[in-house]
Amino acid sequence: MNRRPMENAFPTVVGSIHFMETEARAAATKQWSENPAGINLAAAPEGTSEFYEQMTRSRYALQPWLPDLIRSWVPRGGRVLEIGCGAGTDHSVIASLAGDTAAIDLASHGAQLTQTRLELEGRPGTAQVADAEDMPFPDQSFDGVYSFGVLHHTDHPERAIAEMWRVMRPGATFLVALYHKHSMFAAQKAVEYAVRLRWRSQTWRDYLPELEYGADALEQRPLVRLYSRQSARSLFSQFHDVRVRTEHPALSGYLLPDWLRPFGWYVVVTGRR
Ligand SMILES: C[S@@+](CC[C@H](N)C(=O)[O-])C[C@H]1O[C@@H](n2cnc3c(N)ncnc32)[C@H](O)[C@@H]1O
């Protein structure tokens, strides 16, 4: 089956947003409507304070560098947009420091969980269903844009980045994390794939998305791209002060030694419009 993203001609209506349905969008919506990233890390009933606390504890035990990275980036008191908020764990950190926030996600389940968290924590932001490639915001309306683990799942990352530019005020900053092609994790997946191929025929494009929780059970799997540091940097060539670093989840509670960090799973790109 050809799983390459194809532009289908039927428009989908989600809330008040109309966007052109594509195979990658449909797959991402299905994947993360069923399994918003991180909800498998919490046992408490969905939407409760305990549920959000459990997700936060587990996420940041796995990525202990992430809260400080977010805190050091958030424009204090500014208006901040998160693209692909998932269940809203990072959004909560952002909302604790920003003046106001907006969050979008293709999957209504994630947008709803983020909205509930904002309300539970008494923050003024809003979360809604929308597409990174066609955002429902006026030009130059944000002081910062954050997106973690999202833009490698969309059909046209360059369109999403053009949208980021459009909605950012001059001088606004961004922090975007993408999956890293030259990482130990990608190398491990490539070895596993080579071994598995001996028993069953499967394309790399269908195999790689199995790293997303629950995706191996799906017929239509989300699109997953990998970026080198250089290709990630090139995506943001129109921005200023673009910096790239790599990070990796903690392994059994331990961070990678500095000399292995260049082979971490996330390419983190920061810059300014
Ligand atoms: C791997 S999850 C990451 C979620 C969250 N940022 C996190 O780190 O837990 C990817 C998220 O991006 C969303 N997504 C994928 N393509 C998108 C698009 N074009 N526009 C908005 N959200 C998108 C998915 O629905 C999903 O919630």
Residue 55 near ligand 1, beta carbon < 6 Å: no
Residue 174 near ligand 1, beta carbon < 6 Å: no
Task: Give the residue, out of 55, 66, 105, with the most ligand 1 atoms within 8 A of its beta carbon, to mutate for a pocket test.
Answer: 105
User: Whole-number mean pLDDT of the chain?
Assistant: 88
Per-residue confidence (pLDDT) for residue 14, from 0 to 100: 35
7-272 CATH, one of 3.40.50.150, 3.30.2010.10, 3.40.50.300, 3.90.1150.10? 3.40.50.150
Among 217, 219, 193, residue whose Cα is nearest residue 204: 193
Contacts 24+ apart (CB under 8 A), 155-162: 155/5, 155/22, 155/24, 155/25, 155/223, 157/225, 157/235, 158/235, 159/132, 159/133, 159/134, 160/83, 160/132, 160/133, 161/235, 161/236
Reported as type and span, the H/E element at residue 34 is: helix 23-34
Domain boundaries, the chain: 7-272
Residue 129 near ligand 1, beta carbon < 6 Å: no
> Exposed, middle or buried, 121 (CB in 10 Å: 0-12/13-18/19+)?
middle
The runs of H, that is alpha helices, within 63-156 are 66-73, 89-97, 108-120
How many whole angstroms separate alpha carbon 119 and alpha carbon 123? 6
Residue nearest to atom 2 of ligand 1 (CA): 37
Residue 159's pLDDT band (cuts 50, 70, 90) = very high
Whether residue 266 has pLDDT greater than 80: yes
10 Å Cβ neighbour count for 233? Answer: 17
Residue 179 near ligand 1, beta carbon < 6 Å: no
Mean pLDDT of 42-66: 95
170 CA from centroid of ligand 1 (Å): 25
259 CA from centroid of ligand 1 (Å): 30
How many whole angstroms separate alpha carbon 207 and alpha carbon 49? 35
Per-residue confidence (pLDDT) for residue 3, from 0 to 100: 32
273 CA from centroid of ligand 1 (Å): 23
pLDDT tens for residues 193-246?
Answer: 888 776 677 788 888 888 877 777 666 778 889 999 999 999 999 999 999 999
Contact between residue 103 and residue 88 where contact means Cβ atoms under 8 Å apart: yes
Per-residue confidence (pLDDT) for residue 8, from 0 to 100: 33
178 CA from centroid of ligand 1 (Å): 11
Q: Among positive and negative, which fits the CA dihedral 146, 152, 155, 158?
A: positive
Residue 92 near ligand 1, beta carbon < 6 Å: no
Per-residue confidence (pLDDT) for residue 26, from 0 to 100: 82
Per-residue confidence (pLDDT) for residue 203, from 0 to 100: 83
